[in-house]
Structure 1
Amino acid sequence: MKKAVAKKSRIGVMILSAVVSLHLAVIHDPGHAHAADAAPDLKLEVSSAILMDAATGQVLYENNADVALPPASMAKMMTEYLVLEDIKSGKLKWDDSVTTSQHAADTIGSGQLLAVNETLSVRSMFEAMSIYSGNDASVALAEKVAGSEEQFAALMNDTARKLGLSKDANFINSTGLSRIDMGKYAPKNLQGETVMSARDAATLAYHILNEHKEVLEFTKIPSKKLRETDKSPMINWNWMLEGNQSNPNFRSYVFQGLDGLKTGHTNEAGYCFTGTAERNGMRLISVVMGAKTEPKRFLETAKLLNYGFNTFEMKEIVKADTEVDELKTVEVKKAIHTDVPVVTQSALSILVKKGVKDEEIVKVGEPAAEDVRVAPVEKGEVLGKLTVTYNNQTYDVNLVAKEDVKKAGWFKLMMRSIRHFFTNLF
């Protein structure tokens, strides 16, 4: 009888332990904890799509976002990025001259505004590329930066790796044209076609907006003459620009706060669009690829952006220079007082679903490696980190010394060693 009771007791304990373990697993597994946060089916009529927070890179929605597809002229975002990098470094100036080569003048597709040996400023060429999606201007700028379009495309691929684009992302030109459309100018030393995933396009847009936000001063322009003597202006292919409110042809597509970024279309790619809009201090990046019609790419983009702005809000997780409950102090060896207070190095705000509960945002404090935590330590030195997890995405904030930490004298260190010795002994 006692054995039977004991056996039942052990079974009960095992069941209880299993239930507790399962409960803890659900609490600490972000995938489980945020399963309810799965994005709804927006019924987007595109091949792939993604929605991203421009401030943190946080992904708010995705559908087939990692499938490498032809991006058409969205590839020009990389051309824009590299030109802006050279402007920033001083290698190029906006008023530098760019002369149109035979290659640039021969390039088919959008643009075709430049004559052979025509000279314009870097700024004018950049306007032709970013407003009118000029393939000819893109090639001219690529040749200005790297000597040839093929060498520029190699630079695009190197930069793609540095910016964290996927291993599948590939560029063979500055425009996004297919190899066959390049004709005799197709690269000899670069393989494949130009392809990117929706996530790659969003990542590229993220870097442009955070490192070269001046790009928006160009992309937000609805129309502009390339030359003062031109009879007609270049019309921006982006119908959603807020600046199109007075244009009866585009008014129904206008989206409040939208000021970029890059359209694209070829027969292989379909209609693509990387958009960005800002409302109430919150900027989002959207990408749609493979829409069937030109209007559809803008209508599907509006669905994405409306979902983002209607569903999410910015929430401050921690303030800068503030103590956090998850790790108030860390142990610093050889310090006068080994428990050293730490504070956040910077603030962290992320987009969360409106009405989110605090327990859905998991915060964990972790000390830095032991060999780092040795006195003396200067105020502001990194001694740990706070990891924040929300909806399967993590963000790190450094925890730094709140004040200078002096090294203890030799006598204090010796007495501490003796105490530790006897503590461990007994």
Structure 2
Amino acid sequence: MKQRLQASMALGMAFILSVVTVFGNPEPTYADTVDVEADSAILVDAESGKILYEKDSDLTLPPASMTKMMTEYLVLEAIEEGDIEWETTTQISDYPYSISANATFSGVGLTQSQDYTVRELYEAMAINSDNATSIALAELVAGSEGEFVKMMNEKAEELGMTDYQFVNATGLENEDLGENYPEGTEKEDTNLLSARSSAILAYHLVNDYPESLEISSVPTTEFDGQEIINWNRMLPGMPGQLAAGSYEGVDGLKTGFTDLAGFSFTGTAERDDRRLISVVMKTDSEEARFEETKKLFEYGFNEFEQKELFQAGHQVDGQSEVEVSKGKENAVELETAEPISAPVKNGEEELYEVEVNLSDEALDKNGKLEAPFEAGEKVGTAELVYNGEETYSDLQTGEPLRTEVDIVTSSGVEKANWFMLTIGGVGDFFSDIFSSAVSVVKGWF
């Protein structure tokens, strides 16, 4: 059930939501195939949006610093739209400086009256999960964090996120911000996301702005003369003992921790041109969030394979042609315009078939395709149909995943000349008269 959690919701409600699963689809049968020790989890194919695994994925929890994925998205969007550039400079206002100077938040340490580039601030935010740089970027993009929060919630709705509440740009609790909590929110408010909404956000971040991975994949870098280390311990190339937790192909995205939500992680990895996105929320420790993510990646990469199930030009038995009107031919063959591919679980390849759906708009009132037309004329779609027992849903809609390609004519048909059309019309006229006469005679008896 799609719902937007309003910014006025109290932290107490967040606790209630943390132990109650929000209304959603029945638990898919594949949840039993891998044991993920997290209160909420999801695994998604990053190209198709196919959910490969989920466990209470609509459970809504504070995401902590995973909130920063939305801040990253909006900064990258502002760069794309030309509002700012990577080399745009800004200085640090009193509010983010106070956060940076607070040892509780242990950030990179910012200096006032110093110019910082957008790239420097973004790297500190995405790599070291710095809070003050997140606020500084929010102020640069929107003028104030309060206005930025409005943008965050509007973008969440636009992206199709289902369960969310953004109240600041960092993922901190509003009460930790003192009197600086953003205008339009309440002091007791907290950011809230479900695993599915986190995955939707990550899906758009890596697909809309793949350049984000160039930064989120950096294990260590230098900021203002000091070394900063990525909190994502699964990254290959982590220094020293941290390297023991690395996983091949991981290049993002964001960790998070709160007392209420436990240790969470939105991760992504790519192997053999396949990208997966995972989210685990409320694990028991920093190490556990990476171990549970590894389980999901192992399941996704080992149990599923991207396969071309049907080639371009595939014809479906019983649905391989359509009648033609006003043409030199009475019918034309139909075929798929392109291959049909999907991430397929091992042993399930034979459970897929193609169903042709002809378009009413492409055909006349008698269900025929009117000539003339050329080869490649679109007349409908071919939908991939899964006939297995498991449930594979679409990340965006929550409904069963639909994979479609165009159905087109395999050849062209010219329009018949006027003589043949006239003969055909006369034939149709007498055919109609004969049919009517037969009906009348039958009525007599």
The aligned residue for residue 314 of structure 1 is 306
Find out whether 1:260 has 2:252 as its counterpart: yes
Once the two structures are TM-superposed, the CA of residue 264 in structure 1 deviates from its matched residue by: 1.0
Q: Does residue 122 in structure 1 map to residue 114 in structure 2? A: no
Range with greater deviation from structure 2 (102-111 or 56-65): 102-111
User: 1:54 pairs with 46, 53, 68, which one?
Assistant: 46
Distance 1:237 1:370, change over 3 A: same
Deviation at 1:355, TM superposition (A): 2.7
Matched, 1:181 2:181: no
Please give the residue correspondences for 1:98-113 in structure 2 after superposition, counting only pairs within 5 Å.
98-107=90-99, 109=105, 111-113=107-109
Which residue in 2 is equivalent to 1:23?
A: none
Going from structure 1 to structure 2, the CA distance change for 1:65 and 1:377 (only over 3 Å counts) comes to farther
Distance (whole Å) between structure 2 residues aligned to residue 332 and residue 154 of structure 1 = 55
CA change 1:371–1:353 in 2 (3 A) is: closer
SS class of match (1:233): strand
Determine helix, strand or coil for the equivalent of 2:211.
helix
Match of 2:76 in 1: 84
1:238 to 198, 208, 232: 232
- Determine if contact 1:332/1:375 at 8 Å carries over to the other structure: yes
Identity %: 41
CA deviations 1:219-248 (Å, max 9, x no partner) are 111111112xx1x3111000010122xx33
CA contact (8 A) 1:50 1:63 kept: yes
Gaps of 5+ in 1: 1-30
Deviations 1:18-42 (A, max 9, x none): xxxxxxxxxxxxx9xxx8x624253
Counterpart mapping for 1:14-413 below 5 A:
38-107=30-99, 109=105, 111-166=107-162, 168-190=163-185, 193-227=190-224, 230=225, 232-244=226-238, 247-320=239-312, 322-325=313-316, 327-331=319-323, 337=329, 339-358=331-350, 360-370=351-361, 377=373, 380-390=376-386, 391-392=390-391, 393-402=401-410
Letter in 2 for 1:237: W
Distance 1:388-1:110 versus aligned 2 partners, 3 A rule: farther
Q: Secondary structure at the match of 2:175?
A: helix
Calculate the TM-score normalised by the size of structure 1.
Answer: 0.81
- d(CA) in 2 for partners of 1:410 and 1:189? 72
Match for 1:157: what amino acid?
A: N
Q: In structure 1, what residue type is equivalent to 2:168? A: N
- CA gap of 1:237–1:403, structure 2 versus 1, over 3 A, is same
* 1:176-220 CA distance string (max 9 Å, x none): 222222332223324753211111111111112222111111011
The match for 2:8 is none
SS at structure 2 position matched to 1:130: helix
Q: CA deviation at 1:53?
A: 0.8
What is the RMSD computed on CA atoms of the aligned residues?
2.7
State the secondary structure of the residue aligned to 2:254.
strand
Contact 1:379 1:402 in 2 (8 A): yes
Q: Deviations over 1:376-396 (max 9, x none)?
A: 556655321111133433312
Please report how far the alpha carbon of residue 49 of structure 1 lies from its aligned counterpart in structure 2 after TM superposition. 0.3
Change (3 A) 1:186 1:378: farther
1:17 aligned residue: none
CA shift at 1:407, angstroms? 5.3
CA spacing shift, 1:410–1:74, aligned 2, 3 Å: farther
Contact 1:362 1:389 in 2 (8 A): yes
Report if aligned partners of 1:385, 1:398 keep a CA contact under 8 Å in 2: yes
Matches of 2:108 and 2:168 in 1, distance apart?
Answer: 17
Query: Alpha carbons of 1:386 and 1:145: their partners in 2 closer, same or farther (altered >3 Å)?
Result: same
Describe the superposition over 1:240-269 as per-residue Cα deviations: whole angstroms up to 9, x where unpaired.
Answer: 10122xx33213211111111111112232
Consecutive unaligned residues in structure 2, runs of 5 or more: 1-24, 364-368, 392-400, 436-445
- Aligned residue for 1:11? none
* CA displacement, residues 18-75 of structure 1 (integer Å, 9 cap, x when unaligned): xxxxxxxxxxxxx9xxx8x624253322110011111111111100011121111111
1:271: Cα distance to partner? 1.0
Q: Which residue does 2:19 correspond to in 1?
A: none
Distance 2:279 2:306 in 1: 21
Which has the higher mean CA deviation after the structures are superposed, 400-409 or 85-94?
400-409
When residues 415 and 93 of structure 1 are mapped into structure 2, their CA distance, relative to the original with a 3 A threshold, is farther
Provide, for residues 80-116 of structure 1, a one-character-per-residue CA deviation record: whole Å limited to 9, x for no partner: 1122222223332211113222222233635352233
For the residue of structure 2 that corresponds to 1:196, the secondary structure is strand
User: What SS does structure 1 have at the residue aligned with 2:234?
Assistant: coil
**Cα distance in structure 2, aligned partners of 1:418 and 1:67:** 68
**Distance in 1 between residues matched to 2:378 and 2:185, nearest whole Å:** 43
Between 1:413-422 and 1:339-348, the stretch displaced more is 413-422
Q: Does the residue aligned with 1:204 lie in a helix, a strand or coil?
A: helix
Q: TM-score, normalised by structure 2?
A: 0.78
